[in-house]
C-alpha cells in the first residue's frame, strides 16, 4: 500500500490518489505509517506527504483525516523514535501543510500544543517547531471563531499567547518554549508577557538549566525589552547569592556543610557561564550594554550593596572588559564603594540615621567573595579586579599642594571614605596577586609605575602594598625582578620620601638576590654624582639602608687602612661582592666598607646631603654595631676641619668654613650643629656597645679623640660669651646683605651647638652634680640670649619693611636636643626625689626659662610625632622607643598638673598650658598612630582596678580635674585648661562603644556641667557644648537639647518685637549674656546644619528605594501598571520619623527667628541654615510628588501636620525676621555713613551687610519653591496643604499696615484743601519714613511683612503712591 501511495503521489495521479486515501480508515493509515517507521528507509515522509496530497478535496472526511494524520505526526515527533533527519523532513512537510489547514483546525492544533505544554508527561521535542507557524497562520486570518467568540486572527493569537503565559509550564518545557518564541512574531505587549513568564520560571529550574535559558532570553531581548531581561536576570542571581550566604550561616552539621558547599560551588559555576553569555550578548548588541549600564547606575544610587554583591560585581567587571563600557563601569563601581563608606560614616555619627537605615554588609567581605569565586572559574573577572583595585587606590588623599607631595600621616583615628576605599583596593590587589599567577607581573608593574610617576600625589599606600607583597611572596616578586630594576633607574628623580619608602619595601629582596643588590648599588653610585641634590640625598638614604640591614659579624679594618686610597680599595670591593654569597653574614664586611667609602664623598656635597648622612648614622650603628668605630673615624676626620686645637682660641669652632659665599649670595655649607649632634649620639652608642661587648683588647683612638674634642669644645662654650662668636646685639642680622645673612646662619648654628652641648654635658656625666647643672645653665643662658637677640633683630627688621618679619630668622629652629634627653630632664626636674640631686635640681629651677625650655622641646617632639609620625633626633623613627618616651612625658605632665591643682599652689599659667598642650599631643599620637597600645599607655598614668575600663578611668580622672578647676576660687584664670582637658576627653571617647554605659555616663556628666556651671568664657562653653552635642547626636536625640538651648538664647537676647517681654529663665547655665551671642547660637546653628544633612541623607535614601521600587515595578508590570494598595511598610515608618524630626527642627528655628540678633555673621549663618531647612522641606514635598506620580503610596498625617507647623509657626516669623534684619542693616549703613573718616572697621561692617543681603533672596526662593511643590502636591493628592500658608504675589515693595493706618487717620483729620492735603500727605510720608524701627515693625502673628496687598484698592490715593516709593527706597 505504501508503495502505491508513493508512486501515485510521484506520478501526479491526484484523482486515483484521493480515491485510495478516501477508502483508507484511520487505523489503516496509522498502520502504514508505523510500518514505514520500522523500515527506516526514509519512506515515512513520502507516505505522509502522499496522504496529505490525497486529502485536499476540503470534504469533512478529508479534514478529519488530515487532523488525524497531523496529530499522529506530532506524536511521532514527540516520541523521538525517528532519526533527526527524518524528524526534520516530517517537520518540513507539516509546516507546508499548515497553509492548507482551515482556521478551525489550526485553533484545535494550537489548543493541543497548549495542553501538551501544561502536561508533565509529554515530551514536546521537535514538534514545538510547528507552533510558531500555527500562530503566524492564525494571525493572518481575518476572522476566526475561538471559544464561540468571533474575533480577528491577531486577537485570537494574542488571546492564545496570554492563555499560554497564564498557564502553568512544566520546567522541562521552559527551554524549548523560549527557543520556540524566537520564531514567533510578537507585539511588544506579547513579548513582555512571554519574557515575564520565562523570567518567573527561573527559580524553578535546576542550576544546569539556567545558562541555556539565559542565553535564550538574551536572544529574545533583541526583539525588545532589553532592560527587563537584563535587570531580572541580574536581580535573580543577586538574590541567589544572598540566599546562598544565608544558608551558609545557618548550616549546622558537617553533612549539611558538605551539601551546602556543593550547591554553592554549582551556583558559582552557573553564574560564571551566565556571565559569559551576557558579556557575549553585550558585545553583539550595544543597546543591551547601554541598558545594563543604566541598571548599574540605578543600583549605584539606590542600592550600592546589591551592586557590590558577588554576582553583580563580577558581572560589572566582566562588562568592563568591553572597551566602550570600561570607563563608565569602573566609575560606577568606584562611586558605589565610596557611597557605601560615606553611608557608614553617617551612621556612626548620628543615632537617628543609624536607626533609620538598617545595617549593611561590609563592602570588603562582598568583594572578597568575588575574589574567592574568581578561583572557581570566574577567570573573566580577574583583569577587572586588578583595574578596580588600582582605581580605588588612586582615590587616596590628600592631593599635593602646589605640586609638592605631602606626607600621608593619619590625623584622625577614623579613616575617611577615600582612605577606606584605597585600603579596599589594596586588599583586592593583594588577594588577587595571591590567587592568580597570570596577573602578578601586571600588578607589580602598575604599582612600580605609580610610585615612579605619581610625584605630585601621595604614594605611601602603594609602597605599603608593595612592602606587604614582598614580605609575603619574595620569591614570586623575584620572578619579576626585571621590572624592579627598571624602577631603580628612576630613584634619582623621585622625592626622597617616595624613594626611601620604595627601598624599604624592596629591602627583603636584597638579601636573597645578589644581582638585585648589585643593581641597586650601581644606581646609588650614579645618583651620588648626580647634579640634582634630591638624587644625592636619595643615594645617601639608600646606602644607609643597606648598612642597616647587612650586618657585619666580624670586625672591620682599622682606621689607618680604612683611610687609604679609595680607588684601589673600591675595585677590590666590587670583586668581593660577587665572590661572596649573600647568605653568609661575614661577606657583608666588604660591602659595608665600600658603602662607607662612597658616603665619605658626601663631605664635598651640599649641606642637605650632609644633613641626611648625619641624621642616619646613629640608626646605622645602633643596628650594625660592628661598623661603629669606622663611622666614628669618618666623623673624627670631618670634625677636625672645624675644631680649633689651641685651647686658648675662642671660639672653639671655625664657623667661617661652614658658610660659602658666591657673589652676592651666601649659603650654608656645613650643618655643624647636626654634625656635633651626630658625634654625640654615636659616642653614646659606642659606649653602650663597649659595655655590652666588654672587649678590653680593642682600643680605638678615634673614639677617645672625639671624646676629648667634645669635652674641650663644651668647656670653651661654657666659658665663652656671645661676643666670642661676634653674635652680640650690635651685629647685623638683616637679610638684605651678605653680612646679615652670614650672621643669621652663624646664629642658627651656634643655637644648635648650645643645645647639643647641653645634652652632651647632661648625658655623658655619670651622675648629676651642682657643677654640671651650673655648666648646663650657663649654656642655656647663652642660648637664651642669642635666641632673644635673633628674635628682636628680626622683629626690628620686619618693622622697617612694613611689619613683615623674615620667616627664616623669626622662627625658632627645630631643637637639636633629642627626645631621650628631654625626657631625662623632665624626670630629673619633676620626679627625682634623690636627696643628693636636690641642690642640682634647684639650680635648674632657679634659672628662669629653663624648665619652660625643656617642656617646649618635649612638646616640639610630640608635635612632630602628630604631624609626621616621627620626630627629629636619635631614635625618632623607632616606634617602640617613641612610645616609651610618650608614656613618660604624659605621666610626668599628668602627675605634676594634678598635684599642683589639688594642692592649690600658685602655678605658672604658661607652664601648665604648655604641659596640657603636650599632654594632648601625646594622647593624640598614641590614639591615632599606636591605638593598639592605648590601654598600656593609660595604665602608665593611672592606677586601674581589676575589671575596670582603662579608658573610662582616665576620663574620670580628667573629669575630676575639670570639676576642681570649676569649683576653685580662681577658676577664671584656669579656664583655658578646661579646653585642653576636654580635647583629651574627646580623643578618649572615640575608644568607647557608643552603646556602652560609660559613654552614657560621660554624656550625663557633660549635661550636668552645662546645666549647673555658669561659665562665661566663650572658648570653654563652645568646647563643652560641642562635645555634648556630638556625643548626644551619636547616642541619643540631640534635637530636644538644641530646642532648649534655642529657647535660652531667645530668652537672653530678647524678642524682635520689643513689646513682648520674655521670662529670663534658661535650661543651661552656660548659656548666659556673655556666651549666648555669638558663641552658643553659632554652635547651635552648626549642629542644626549637620542634623539637616542627616535628614537629607535619609530622605535621599528613601527616594532611592522608591526609585528602585519604581524601576522594578515598571520592568515587571509595564509603564501602565495600576496602583497597588499596600499596608504599612518600613518606608512609611521612616517617613513618619523624618516628618517628626523636621517638625522638631522647625520648633528650634521658631525660637531663633524671634531672637534679637546682631548684624553680621550670626544673622548670615541663621539665614543660610533656614534656607537649608526649606530646601529639605522642598525635597520632602518632591519625594511625595514622585510617590503620587508613580502611584506608590500617599503622604502620612504627620506630613500634613509638618506643613501646617511650617506655615503657622515659621514662615510668617521668617518674613518678620527679614524685615528686622533689613532695618538693622539700614541703621548700620546710616551709622557707617555718618563716619566721614570711613575707617577699615566701618568698611568691613558694610561688606558684611552686603553679604547678608545676598542670603535673603536665596531664602525667599527656597520658601517659594517649597510652596510651589506643595501646590502641585495638593493637586495630586486632593488634600488642601495650603490651608495654613499665605502666598505672596510681589515683593517689590512693602506696605507697613500700622504706619499706613496712622497716616490715613492724620489725612482724614486734615483740611479738605487739595494743596493742604498734598502738603499733609508729604508730611505724613516723611513721618512714616523716619519712624523708629520699633514702631514700624509689623505686628507678629499677622500676615508676613514682606508680602504685598493681594487686592489693592481700585482707587489709590497720592499718599499710598508716594508712601510706596519711599518705603521701597528704605
Question: pLDDT per residue over 968-1002, tens digit each?
Answer: 877 677 888 999 999 999 999 999 999 999 999 99
Residue appearing with cell numbers 540615621: 353
**What are the phi and psi torsion angles at 1055 (to 5°)?**
-95, 150
Alpha helices in 303-378 (DSSP H): 304-307, 310-319, 323-349, 351-356, 363-374
Picking from 1294, 1268, 1281, 1277, the residue whose alpha carbon sits closest to that of residue 1368 is: 1294
Contact call for residues 155 and 105 (beta carbons, < 8 A): no
Could you report the per-residue pLDDT of 609-638, keeping only the tens digit for each?
A: 999 999 999 999 999 988 998 999 999 999
Contact call for residues 432 and 388 (beta carbons, < 8 A): no
DSSP 667: E
Beta-bridge partner residues of 791: none
Task: Give residue 467's pLDDT.
Answer: 95
1156: pLDDT strictly greater than 60: yes
Secondary-structure percent of the chain, ordered helix, strand, coil, rounded to 5:
75, 0, 25
Of the given ranges (164-173, 294-303, 341-350, 646-655), which has the lowest mean pLDDT? 164-173
Q: How confident is the model at residue 697 (pLDDT cuts 50, 70, 90)?
A: very low
Could you report the per-residue pLDDT of 31-72, keeping only the tens digit for each?
A: 777 777 666 666 777 777 777 776 777 677 777 777 777 777
Contact call for residues 886 and 926 (beta carbons, < 8 A): yes
Contact call for residues 306 and 299 (beta carbons, < 8 A): yes
Task: Give residue 98's pLDDT.
Answer: 77
Picking from 1270, 1251, 1265, the residue whose alpha carbon sits closest to that of residue 1175 is: 1265
Task: Give residue 575's pLDDT.
Answer: 32
Task: Give residue 865's pLDDT.
Answer: 94
- 1240-1264: average pLDDT: 68
DSSP 83: -
Q: How many residues does the chain have?
A: 1370
579: pLDDT strictly greater than 50: no
- 772-786: average pLDDT: 94
Beta-bridge partner residues of 144: 151
Could you report the per-residue pLDDT of 236-274, keeping only the tens digit for each?
A: 998 888 888 888 777 644 444 454 556 788 888 899 999
- 469-494: average pLDDT: 91
- Strands 665-668 and 659-662, how do they pair? antiparallel
pTM above 0.95, yes or no: no
Residues in contact with 1146: Cβ distance below 8 Å, sequence separation at least 6, in sequence order? 1173, 1202, 1205, 1206, 1209, 1210
- Strands 149-151 and 144-146, how do they pair? antiparallel
Contacts 24+ apart (CB under 8 A), 1126-1129: 1126/1193
Residue of higher predicted confidence among 982 and 1338: 982
Q: How confident is the model at residue 153 (pLDDT cuts 50, 70, 90)?
A: confident
Task: Give residue 1352's pLDDT.
Answer: 38
Coil/strand/helix, residue 1288:
coil
Q: How confident is the model at residue 1366 (pLDDT cuts 50, 70, 90)?
A: very low
Could you report the per-residue pLDDT of 1159-1198, keeping only the tens digit for each?
A: 889 999 999 999 999 999 999 999 999 999 888 888 989 9
Picking from 477, 92, 124, 228, the residue whose alpha carbon sits closest to that of residue 1118 is: 228
Residue appearing with cell numbers 509603564: 1119
Task: Give residue 1345's pLDDT.
Answer: 36
Mean pLDDT of the chain: 82
Burial (CB count within 10 angstroms: exposed 0-12, middle 13-18, buried 19+), residue 248: middle
Residue of higher predicted confidence among 1034 and 409: 1034
DSSP of 993-1042, one letter per residue? Answer: -TTSHHHHHHHHHHHHHHHH-----HHHHHHHHHHHHHHHHHHS--HHHH
DSSP 1208: I
Picking from 1169, 1160, 1153, the residue whose alpha carbon sits closest to that of residue 1251 is: 1160
1324: pLDDT strictly greater than 60: no
Please tell me the distance from the alpha carbon of residue 711 to that of residue 709, in angstroms, as a whole number.
Answer: 5
Residue of higher predicted confidence among 737 and 447: 447
1354: pLDDT strictly greater than 60: no
Q: How confident is the model at residue 699 (pLDDT cuts 50, 70, 90)?
A: very low
**What are the phi and psi torsion angles at 176 (to 5°)?**
-65, -40
Distance linking the first and last C-alpha atoms of the chain: 116
Task: Give residue 1106's pLDDT.
Answer: 84
Task: Give residue 807's pLDDT.
Answer: 43
Coil/strand/helix, residue 1223:
helix
C-alpha cell at 437: 599567577
- 1308-1316: average pLDDT: 55
Amino acid at each position: 500500500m505504501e508503495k502505491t501511495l508513493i508512486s501515485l503521489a510521484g506520478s501526479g495521479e491526484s484523482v486515483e490518489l484521493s480515491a485510495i486515501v478516501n477508502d483508507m480508515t484511520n487505523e489503516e493509515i496509522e498502520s502504514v505509517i508505523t510500518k514505514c517507521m520500522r523500515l527506516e528507509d526514509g519512506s515515512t515522509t513520502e507516505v505522509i506527504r502522499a496522504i496529505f496530497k490525497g486529502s485536499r478535496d476540503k470534504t469533512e472526511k478529508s479534514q478529519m483525516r488530515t487532523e488525524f494524520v497531523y496529530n499522529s505526526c506530532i506524536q511521532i515527533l514527540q516520541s523521538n523514535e525517528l532519526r533527526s533527519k527524518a524528524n526534520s523532513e516530517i517537520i518540513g512537510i507539516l509546516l507546508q501543510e499548515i497553509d492548507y489547514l482551515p482556521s478551525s483546525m489550526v485553533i484545535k492544533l494550537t489548543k493541543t500544543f497548549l495542553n501538551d505544554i501544561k502536561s508533565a508527561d509529554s515530551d514536546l521535542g521537535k514538534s514545538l517547531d510547528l507552533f510558531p507557524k500555527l500562530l503566524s497562520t492564525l494571525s493572518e486570518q481575518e476572522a476566526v471563531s475561538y471559544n464561540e467568540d468571533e474575533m480577528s486572527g491577531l486577537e485570537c493569537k494574542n488571546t492564545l499567547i496570554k492563555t499560554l503565559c497564564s498557564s502553568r509550564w512544566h520546567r522541562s518545557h521552559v527551554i524549548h518554549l523560549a527557543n520556540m518564541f524566537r520564531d514567533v512574531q510578537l507585539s511588544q505587549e506579547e513579548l513582555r508577557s512571554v519574557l515575564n513568564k520565562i523570567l518567573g520560571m527561573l527559580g524553578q529550574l535546576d542550576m544546569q538549566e539556567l545558562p541555556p535559558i539565559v542565553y535564550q532570553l538574551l536572544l529574545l531581548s533583541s526583539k525588545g525589552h532589553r532592560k527587563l531581561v537584563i535587570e531580572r536576570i541580574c536581580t535573580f542571581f543577586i538574590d541567589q547569592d544572598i540566599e546562598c550566604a544565608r544558608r551558609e550561616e545557618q548550616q549546622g552539621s558537617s553533612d549539611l556543610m558538605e551539601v551546602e558547599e556543593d550547591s554553592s560551588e554549582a551556583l558559582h559555576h552557573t553564574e560564571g557561564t551566565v556571565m559569559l553569555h551576557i558579556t557575549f550578548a553585550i558585545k553583539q548588541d550595544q543597546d543591551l550594554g547601554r541598558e545594563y549600564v543604566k541598571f548599574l547606575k540605578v543600583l549605584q544610587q539606590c542600592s550600592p550593596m546589591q551592586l557590590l554583591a558577588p554576582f553583580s560585581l563580577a558581572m560589572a567587571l566582566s562588562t568592563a572588559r568591553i572597551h566602550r563600557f570600561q570607563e563608565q563601569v569602573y566609575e560606577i563601581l568606584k562611586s558605589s564603594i565610596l557611597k557605601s563608606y560615606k553611608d557608614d560614616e553617617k551612621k556612626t555619627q548620628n543615632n537617628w540615621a543609624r536607626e533609620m537605615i538598617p545595617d549593611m554588609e561590609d563592602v570588603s567581605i562582598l568583594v572578597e567573595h568575588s575574589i574567592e569565586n574568581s578561583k572557581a572559574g570566574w577567570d573573566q573577572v580577574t583583569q577587572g579586579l586588578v583595574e578596580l583595585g588600582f582605581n580605588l587606590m588612586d582615590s587616596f588623599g590628600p592631593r599635593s599642594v602646589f605640586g609638592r607631595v605631602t606626607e600621608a600621616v593619619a590625623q584622625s583615628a577614623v579613616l575617611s571614605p577615600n582612605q577606606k576605599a584605597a585600603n579596599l583596593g589594596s586588599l583586592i590587589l593583594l588577594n588577587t596577586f595571591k590567587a592568580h599567577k597570570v596577573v602578578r607581573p601586571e600588578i607589580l608593574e602598575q604599582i612600580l609605575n605609580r610610585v615612579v610617576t605619581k610625584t605630585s600625589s601621595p604614594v605611601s599606600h602603594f609602597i605599603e602594598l608593595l612592602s606587604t607583597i614582598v614580605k609575603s611572596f619574595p620569591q614570586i616578586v623575584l620572578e619579576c625582578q626585571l621590572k624592579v630594576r627598571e624602577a631603580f633607574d628612576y630613584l634619582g628623580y623621585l622625592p626622597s620620601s617616595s624613594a626611601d619608602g620604595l627601598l624599604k619595601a624592596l629591602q627583603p629582596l636584597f638579601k636573597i638576590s645578589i644581582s638585585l643588590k648589585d643593581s641597586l648599588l650601581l644606581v646609588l653610585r650614579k645618583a651620588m654624582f648626580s647634579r640634582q641634590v634630591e638624587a644625592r640625598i636619595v643615594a645617601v638614604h639608600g646606602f644607609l639602608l643597606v648598612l642597616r640591614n647587612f650586618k657585619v659579624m666580624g670586625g672591620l679594618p682599622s682606621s689607618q687602612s680604612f683611610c687609604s686610597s679609595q680607588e684601589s680599595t673600591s675595585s677590590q670591593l666590587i670583586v668581593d661582592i660577587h665572590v661572596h654569597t649573600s647568605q653568609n653574614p661575614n661577606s657583608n664586611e666588604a660591602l659595608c666598607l665600600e658603602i662607607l667609602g662612597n658616603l665619605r664623598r658626601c663631605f664635598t656635597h651640599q649641606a642637605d646631603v650632609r644633613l641626611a648622612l648625619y641624621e642616619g648614622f646613629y640608626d646605622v650603628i645602633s643596628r650594625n654595631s660592628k661598623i661603629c668605630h669606622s663611622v666614628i673615624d669618618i666623623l673624627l676626620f670631618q670634625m677636625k676641619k672645624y675644631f680649633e686645637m689651641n685651647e686658648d682660641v675662642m671660639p672653639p669652632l671655625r664657623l667661617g668654613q661652614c658658610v660659602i659665599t658666591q657673589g652676592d649670595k651666601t649659603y650654608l655649607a656645613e650643618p655643624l650643629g647636626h654634625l656635633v649632634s651626630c658625634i654625640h649620639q654615636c659616642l653614646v652608642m659606642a659606649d653602650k656597645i663597649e659595655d655590652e661587648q666588654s672587649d678590653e683588647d680593642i682600643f680605638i683612638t678615634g673614639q677617645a679623640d672625639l671624646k676629648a674634642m667634645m669635652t674641650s669644645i663644651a668647656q670653651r662654650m661654657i666659658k665663652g660669651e656671645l661676643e666670642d662668636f661676634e653674635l652680640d646685639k650690635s651685629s647685623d642680622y638683616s637679610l638684605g646683605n651678605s653680612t646679615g645673612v652670614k650672621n643669621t646662619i652663624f646664629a642658627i648654628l651656634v643655637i644648635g651647638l648650645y643645645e647639643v652641648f647641653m645634652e652632651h654635658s647632661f648625658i655623658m656625666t655619670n651622675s648629676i652634680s651642682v657643677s654640671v647643672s651650673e655648666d648646663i645653665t650657663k649654656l642655656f643662658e647663652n642660648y637664651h640670649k642669642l635666641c632673644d637677640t635673633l628674635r628682636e633683630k628680626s622683629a626690628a627688621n620686619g618693622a622697617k619693611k612694613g611689619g613683615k618679619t623674615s620667616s627664616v630668622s623669626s622662627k625658632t629652629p627645630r631643637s637639636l636636643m633629642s627626645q631621650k634627653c628631654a625626657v631625662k630632664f623632665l624626670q630629673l626636674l619633676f620626679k627625682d626625689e634623690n636627696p643628693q640631686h636636690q641642690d642640682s635640681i634647684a639650680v635648674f629651677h632657679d634659672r628662669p626659662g629653663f624648665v619652660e625650655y625643656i617642656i617646649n622641646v618635649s612638646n616640639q617632639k610630640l608635635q612632630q610625632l602628630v604631624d609626621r609620625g616621627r620626630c627629629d633626633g636619635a631614635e625618632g623613627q623607632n616606634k617602640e622607643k617613641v612610645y616609651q618616651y610618650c608614656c613618660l612625658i604624659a605621666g610626668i605632665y599628668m602627675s605634676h598638673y594634678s598635684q599642683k591643682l589639688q594642692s592649690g599652689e600658685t602655678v605658672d599659667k604658661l607652664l601648665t598650658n604648655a604641659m596640657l598642650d603636650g599632654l594632648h599631643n601625646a594622647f593624640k599620637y598614641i590614639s591615632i598612630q599606636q591605638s593598639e597600645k592605648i590601654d598600656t599607655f593609660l595604665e602608665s598614668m593611672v592606677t586601674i582596678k581589676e575589671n575596670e575600663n582603662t579608658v573610662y578611668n582616665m576620663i574620670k580622672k580628667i573629669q575630676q580635674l575639670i570639676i576642681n578647676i570649676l569649683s576653685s576660687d580662681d577658676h577664671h584664670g584656669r579656664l583655658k585648661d578646661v579646653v585642653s582637658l576636654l580635647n583629651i576627653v574627646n580623643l578618649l571617647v572615640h575608644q568607647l562603644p557608643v552603646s556602652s554605659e560609660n559613654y552614657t555616663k560621660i554624656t550625663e556628666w557633660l549635661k550636668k556641667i552645662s546645666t549647673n556651671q555658669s561659665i562665661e568664657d566663650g572658648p570653654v562653653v563652645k568646647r563643652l557644648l560641642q562635645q555634648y552635642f556630638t556625643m548626644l547626636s551619636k547616642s541619643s536625640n540631640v534635637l530636644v537639647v538644641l530646642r532648649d538651648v534655642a529657647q535660652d538664647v531667645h530668652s537672653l537676647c530678647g524678642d524682635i518685637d520689643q513689646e513682648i517681654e520674655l521670662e529670663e529663665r534658661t535650661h543651661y547655665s552656660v548659656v548666659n549674656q556673655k556666651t549666648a551671642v555669638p558663641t552658643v547660637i553659632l554652635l547651635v546653628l552648626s549642629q542644626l546644619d549637620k542634623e539637616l544633612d542627616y535628614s537629607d541623607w535619609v530622605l535621599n535614601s528613601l527616594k532611592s528605594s522608591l526609585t528602585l521600587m519604581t524601576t522594578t515595578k515598571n520592568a515587571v508590570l509595564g509603564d501602565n501598571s495600576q496602583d497597588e494598595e499596600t499596608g504599612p511598610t518600613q518606608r512609611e515608618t521612616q517617613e513618619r520619623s523624618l516628618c517628626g524630626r523636621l517638625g522638631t527642627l522647625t520648633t528650634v528655628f521658631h525660637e531663633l527667628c524671634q531672637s534679637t540678633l546682631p548684624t553680621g555673621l550670626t544673622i548670615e549663618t541663621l539665614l543660610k541654615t533656614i534656607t537649608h531647612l526649606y530646601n529639605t522641606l522642598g525635597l520632602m514635598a518632591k519625594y511625595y510628588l514622585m510617590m503620587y506620580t508613580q502611584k506608590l503610596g500617599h503622604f502620612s498625617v504627620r506630613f500634613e501636620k509638618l506643613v501646617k507647623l511650617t506655615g503657622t509657626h515659621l514662615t510668617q516669623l521668617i518674613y518678620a525676621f527679614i524685615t528686622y534684619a533689613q532695618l538693622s542693616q539700614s541703621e548700620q549703613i546710616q551709622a557707617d555713613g555718618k563716619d566721614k573718616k570711613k575707617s577699615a572697621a566701618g568698611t568691613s561692617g558694610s561688606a558684611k551687610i552686603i553679604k547678608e543681603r545676598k542670603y535673603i533672596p536665596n531664602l525667599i526662593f527656597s520658601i517659594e519653591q517649597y510652596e510651589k511643590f506643595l501646590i502641585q502636591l495638593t493637586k495630586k493628592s486632593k488634600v488642601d496643604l495650603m490651608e495654613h500658608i499665605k502666598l505672596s504675589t510681589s515683593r517689590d515693595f512693602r506696605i507697613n499696615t500700622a504706619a499706613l493706618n496712622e497716616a490715613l487717620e492724620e489725612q482724614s483729620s486734615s483740611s479738605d484743601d487739595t494743596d493742604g492735603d498734598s502738603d499733609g500727605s508729604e508730611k505724613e510720608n516723611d513721618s512714616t519714613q523716619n519712624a523708629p524701627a520699633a514702631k514700624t515693625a509689623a505686628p507678629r502673628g499677622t500676615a508676613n511683612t514682606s508680602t504685598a496687598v493681594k487686592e489693592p484698592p481700585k482707587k489709590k490715593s497720592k499718599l499710598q503712591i508716594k508712601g510706596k516709593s519711599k518705603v521701597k527706597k528704605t
